[in-house]
Amino acid sequence: MQPSSPPAEPCGITALGVYVPERVVTNEHFASYLDTDAEWIESRTGMRERRYAAPDEYASHLGVGAVQNMVARDPEALSGVDLIVCATGTPDALFPSTAALIGLQVGLRGVAAADLSVACSGFAYGLAFAKGQIAAGLARRVLVIGTEVLSKRVDQNDRGNAILFADGAGAAVVGPVPDGYGLGEFVMGADGSGGSSLFMPGAAPQLPDGTPMGEYADMNGREVFKFAVRIIPESAQQVLTKAGLTPADVDWIIPHQANIRIIEAAAERLGVEMERFVVNLDRYGNTSAATVPLALDEAVQDGRIKDGDQVLIVAFGGGLSWAACTLRWWGGGRSFGAGAAAGGQP
């Protein structure tokens, strides 16, 4: 009989940082030129305002801001980082990777770096990749970033999409934590048959199924809503079962911040009260791969998430994709700094 491998050393989030641009865009902005009104937007989405990047700000700039915010909180946060994973659907370029561009600017030149293109599921995927690389012995500490400038890739005259998407970034270092804490189980998936419901144009003029792609990102809101209200509770329950947990064991749920109605439907199907969901889409809108770290950081900063709390992260996005994971929070008694995002106070 072959000897069994030793259990993987536990790893979790050891540092956090966030960044949102300074420009605040309210619902009244859209009401001023689109066939809509501020109250309608809030009632349908839960959003009141969001942040837009400046004309000369791109995904790498926001990502650098999040990492700088992390280092301002903890000057040793990046010590030993040997891999950078950047989740973004709005990269500065297809190559060089946005991860490499960020690494160069934050003092990590020469560190392995790669981008993930999983839209709103990206940060949760990034945490899974980080844990896998650490467990395989290929990395010791991984910098995971979610950064987006969706305002630049959405048609601002499209009422259905312009009101939803926004810009922001979050960063986390995944590294060793004490036994009993850190990242637990993961569930991930993707279904390309739903790709035409939510896509960002690339090099091809159309998707393989013939769906034409123009200049901007596009979403079939009705189809994505139906997908989301099914996949969030389904993947959440799957990962909880895998971890030997029930919804009652979860202290806080960090969902992708797409629409308040989606989150409310998920809460009902899971049988979890809304008070246990961390929600900040009213102030930031849908920042895709950045929503989860922005919400997680806020709940850590304001003291809701404490050492030992059981956290559930669940997200969905283009692909169509989905991901969920469990996380036993450990901050070592730290607040991860009292500072907020560098560009504008979240």
Q: Select which of 27, 86, 286, 325 is catalytic.
A: 286
Give the H/E segment covering residue 188: strand 182-190
For the stretch 315-336, pLDDT in tens is 999 989 999 999 999 987 676 7
Please list, in sequence order, all residues whose beta carbon lies within 8 angstroms of the beta carbon of residue 95, skipping any fewer than 6 positions away.
none
Give the per-residue pLDDT at 337: 63
Residue pair 59/90 in contact (Cβ under 8 Å)? The answer is yes
29 is known as an active-site residue: no
Residue linked to tokens 């169509």: 320
Mean pLDDT of 21-37: 97
Distance in angstroms (rounded) separating the CA atoms of residues 128 and 122: 10
- Say whether pLDDT at 340 is over 60: no
Give the per-residue pLDDT at 344: 53
Mean pLDDT of 191-219: 91
325 is known as an active-site residue: no
Predicted confidence band of residue 175 (pLDDT cuts 50, 70, 90) = very high
Q: What is the mean pLDDT of the chain?
A: 94
Residue pair 111/139 in contact (Cβ under 8 Å)? The answer is no
CATH number of 182-328: 3.40.47.10
Q: Select which of 11, 69, 256, 259 is catalytic.
A: 256
Q: Select which of 120, 161, 259, 325 is catalytic.
A: 120
Predicted confidence band of residue 73 (pLDDT cuts 50, 70, 90) = very high
Give the per-residue pLDDT at 8: 73
For the chain, the domains span: 11-176, 182-328
- Say whether pLDDT at 119 is over 90: yes
Class of domain 11-176: alpha beta
- What spatial distance separates the first Cα and last Cα of the chain, rounded to whole Å? 55
- Say whether pLDDT at 41 is over 60: yes
Give the per-residue pLDDT at 3: 44
Mean pLDDT of 305-313: 97
Distances (CA, A) of 157 to 34, 41, 212, 322: 7, 15, 19, 29
One fold for 11-176 and 182-328: yes
120 is known as an active-site residue: yes
Please list, in sequence order, all residues whose beta carbon lies within 8 angstroms of the beta carbon of residue 3, skipping any fewer than 6 positions away.
none
Please list, in sequence order, all residues whose beta carbon lies within 8 angstroms of the beta carbon of residue 18, skipping any fewer than 6 positions away.
66, 69, 168, 169, 170, 171, 293, 294, 297, 340, 341, 346
- Say whether pLDDT at 129 is over 70: yes
Burial (CB < 10 A; 0-12, 13-18, 19+), residue 56, is exposed
- Say whether pLDDT at 5 is over 70: no
Burial (CB < 10 A; 0-12, 13-18, 19+), residue 205, is exposed
Give the per-residue pLDDT at 144: 98
Predicted confidence band of residue 9 (pLDDT cuts 50, 70, 90) = confident
